[in-house]
Amino acid sequence: MGGDRRPTVAALIPVWNGAAYLAEAIESVVAERVDEVVVVDDGSTDDSGAIAERFGPPVRCLRQANRGVAAARNAALQAAFDLPYAEGYAARAFMHETDHCNGKLFIDHLPKMRRDMVVKRFKKEKTWK
Its CATH architecture, for the domain 8-119, is Alpha-Beta Complex (3.90)
DSSP state of 105: I
Angle between helices 19-30 and 48-55 in degrees, nearest 10: 20
Sign of the alpha-carbon torsion through 42, 47, 50, 54: negative
Return the domain boundaries, the chain: 8-119
Instruction: Specify burial of residue 61 (Cβ count, 10 A radius: 0-12, 13-18, 19+).
Output: buried
- Collect the ranges in the chain with pLDDT lower than 50: 1-4, 86, 119, 121, 123-129
pTM value is 0.78
pLDDT in tens, 94-114: 787 877 776 666 656 665 655
Q: Would you give the distance in Å from CA 86 to the centre of its chain?
A: 18
What value, to the nearest 5°, has the Cα angle with vertex 49 and ends 46 and 50?
90
Give the whole-angstrom CA distance, residue 61 versus residue 57.
Answer: 10
